[in-house]
Amino acid sequence: MKIIRTADYNHMSQKAAQLMIEKIRQQPGMTLGLATGSTPKGVYAELIKDHQENGTSYEKITTINLDEYIGLLPSDPNSYRHFMNSELFDHLDIRLEHTHLPNGAAEDMPQESERYEQLIKDLANIDLQLLGIGRNGHIGFNEPGTSFHSRTHIVDLAESTRKANARFFNSIEDVPAQAITMGIASILDSREILLLASGSAKAEAIRQLVYGEPDEQFPASALKLHENVTIIADEKALSLVS
């Protein structure tokens, strides 16, 4: 596992964007795995800036996101589809039909999970997957205890995760109780993984990731089983790692 230490959130975002842009330029038809949440927002802003200033094209890029809330329509301002469109896709020359998120409003969610997993296979896997990390070590919405063999599936969100995400909603009651997420095995099929972390709230999770053994009680530790993972984190997130 490679670790890139940056001074702060802005430098983390710039470094991650720089690595992604290099890959996109080398491989303009690549499949990018994307994440939502606060952490990648700065990276997305950097990608947009680069697209506007340097013309990096996303015309041939396909994207596939990690997860989506169940029960929110794609048009809901709190849906991850809405987040991705407004934070990134609407500002690039990407074709929206080449951007994929699970449909959290599908009538048959088990079938939607199968469709999404098949889609990853049909895309011949993800070339570069961007990840954030939860304070409890979750990646995607794979909470502690999730099997490392899991594929796209439906999850009951941990109370701590609902609380952490309540900041985007009017109240915690409005945070959906379930989500659909790529599984750990689906994520590990990616050719390369970039995990981002910023701030002291993530320091303990990053310490456990760097020093711990693979353990299903700490989902991110599955990344230890992957050969091409880079952590890009700022000083605060790396404060417990020497």
Interface residues with ligand F6R (CB under 6 A) are 35-39, 66-67, 132-134, 138-140
Active-site residue flag, 90: no
What is the Cα–Cα distance from 13 to 84, expressed in whole angstroms? 16
Closer by beta carbon to ligand F6R, 51 or else 81: 81
Encoded amino acid at 58, one letter: Y
Catalytic residue among 46, 143, 189, 234: 143
Nearer to ligand F6R, 25 or 135 (CB): 135
Query: Are the beta carbons of 136 and 161 closer than 8 angstroms?
Result: yes
Task: Please tell me the distance from the alpha carbon of residue 181 to that of residue 70, in angstroms, as a whole number.
Answer: 10
> From the CB of 53, what's the least distance to ligand F6R, in Å?
26
Encoded amino acid at 119, one letter: L
Catalytic residue status for 138: yes
> Which residue, among 232, 216, 45, 219, has the nearest Cα to 128 in the 3D structure?
232
Residue 196 beta carbon to ligand F6R: minimum distance, rounded to whole angstroms: 8
| Residue, CB closest to ligand F6R | 132
Would you call 51 a catalytic residue per the annotation? Answer: no
Q: Which is nearer to ligand F6R, 58 or 132 (CB)?
A: 132
Shortest gap between Cβ of 26 and ligand F6R (angstroms)? 25
* Distance of alpha carbon 146 from alpha carbon 138, whole angstroms: 9
136 is catalytic: yes
CB of residue 194 to ligand F6R, shortest distance in Å = 12
Which CB atom, from 139 or from 180, has the smaller least distance to ligand F6R?
A: 139
Q: How far is CA 213 from CA 171, 193, 231, in A?
A: 36, 18, 16
CA-closest candidate to residue 131, choices 216, 74, 83, 192: 192
User: Of the residues 46, 50, 67, 68, which is catalytic?
Assistant: 67
Give catalytic residues, as residue numbers: 67, 136, 138, 143
